[in-house]
Amino acid sequence: MDNYKCKTCGKEHAVFKAVEVSKPERILEIAEAERAQRVKEIQGSYLIDDTLFLLQGDIFIYKEEEEKPFFTWSVWVSISLADFQSKAKELEERKNVVFDGQLETALPFYEKTKGLKVKVFINLDYDYSVVKIAEASPIKEDQSEKITDVRVMTLLDRFYHPLVKS
């Protein structure tokens, strides 16, 4: 499925398969003059005020009858520095680790995603961390069960026509 016919406007629209954000909003919310003092970049992740660790991960949404992820959301999550440090030895030993965290990215097809509780799975054999939503929400439902073509079109309608209530 590369395109679909929109039920709102009747036009053909492209189907998005991935969304990636460039920098965590938390960093952009810090005054530019303060960033150099408060934010440290560490191998593509960020440490804010020596207490909050931000790292990038992927949320995968699967579609019925497909084995590979249909949507991939590249998102930012926060975990406490203390939690990260408590598992540093496991990471150094190249062991898989799981962190409790919070979603720092607002996803365009879903309402109220920023701030959701998440589990962050880090496997150093991969270039990405897997993020699983841990709190009841529409995105957790979509992540837990494979979605239908109808659900795909409903989500895309929200993206192309955000002011129209579905």
Confidence (pTM) = 0.86
Residue at 162: amino acid letter: P
Q: Could you list the mean pLDDT of each consecutive 10-residue stretch along the chain, which spans 166 residues?
A: 83 84 86 94 90 93 91 93 89 90 88 93 86 95 92 83 70
Residue 162 CB-density burial (10 A; 0-12 exposed, 13-18 middle, 19+ buried):
exposed
Q: Are 67 and 123 in contact (CB under 8 A)?
A: no
| pLDDT score recorded for residue 15 | 85
| pLDDT score recorded for residue 88 | 85
- Domain spans of the chain, in order of start: 3-154
